A and B are shown apart, each in its own frame.
Chain A
């Protein structure tokens, strides 16, 4: 990964247009910004090739049938938290997971289609993992905002 990659105001303006509409054509972006379509195309490609930019479709939780979202904080005991989290993330219901500072060791987001799926997930699936001392949930009753414009970007092939 190159550390000397730099972006200028033109790159930033193009990214801003793409955030508004990722499907805008190179020509539309060029017209808005007073550039040529070739410049827009080359700039986007340069940022993509350096893994600094991805123009993507993001989809709503509901498009995947996820009707239940909860945050779960976990206290780990008798085992490195990093080992426990590696087992937790194997389950597709674990949507995001982080090792965190503070009173709990692991913070994760869990998605479910239905609350009926909860007993199996907690008792059967999580129940097989050693080292979980307690799990404390906060159930989302409404998601006001959930969107990350900035994220770690993997190389194309790994996605």
Chain B
């Protein structure tokens, strides 16, 4: 994928909006010393290029029991993409990548109980055609974590047309 070149203003916009996406174009324009039209145009372009997306991050229920787990999946290489796409459709799975290494697909999920995790790893993922082995490890302590950098997918971009924009 060719990545459009970002300049300093783009980077500043991303930084400001990563802290709070609900700040008005007007306030951003004043803070960064540019016009409101520039801010609006830049945001629109960054969205259209799939470089940023506006969303809500919540911590509801997280203090109780939610834990992160890494699920390494050994699957026939020819079937890795299909399996990865099916795993990505599971709602409790936050991240899926096709990998080269000690497994072919890595999934990262948040789970509330060991029963949930067992169901996900054994009942749902291990039962997929082509999957040989599933290896799970649980994060007991998270030392570094960044929810602000993500993969923006075609589906996310398509949603833009539906949601429209403010301003």
Binding site for B on A (CB under 8 A): 1, 3, 7, 15, 18-25, 28, 44, 47, 51-66, 69-71, 73, 82, 85-86, 89, 94-104, 107-108, 136-153, 159
Contacts and interface: CB of A to CB of B under 8 A. Distances in A.
B73 to A, nearest CB: 11
Given A138-B103, A139-B101, A98 B58 contact: no
A86 B143 CA distance: 7
B59 A150 contact: yes
A57 B6 contact: no
Interface string B70-81: 101000000001
A29 to B, nearest CB: 10
Contacts of A47: 58
A45 B85 CA distance: 37
Contacts of B152: 58-60
B98 A59 contact: no
12 contacts: A51-B59, A52-B60, A55-B22, A57-B53, A97-B142, A100-B140, A143-B95, A144-B151, A145-B94, A150-B57, A150-B60, A152-B145
What band does the interface of chain B fall in when counting residues whose beta carbon is under 8 Å from A? 35 or more
Nearest to B64: A3
B121 interface: no
Given A19-B55, A107-B70, A138-B100, A63 B14 contact: yes
B131 interface: no
Q: Which of B6, B85, B135, B144 has the most CB of A within 10 A?
A: B144
A1 B59 CA distance: 12
B30 interface: no
Given A57-B17, A59-B53, A107-B139, 12 more contacts: A18-B56, A22-B56, A57-B21, A59-B148, A61-B149, A89-B144, A99-B141, A144-B84, A144-B88, A149-B57, A151-B147, A153-B59
Contacts of A51: 59
B144 to A, nearest CB: 4
Given A53-B57, A60-B152, A98 B68 contact: yes
B57 A153 contact: yes
A131 B56 CA distance: 39
A136 B165 CA distance: 44
A6 to B, nearest CB: 10
A144 B142 contact: no
Contact of A23 (B72, B88, B166): B166
Closest 4 CB pairs of A and B: A22-B54, A138-B101, A57-B17, A98-B139
Contact of B51 (A54, A63, A97): A63
Nearest to A91: B144
Interface string B13-24: 010011111100
A19 B3 contact: no
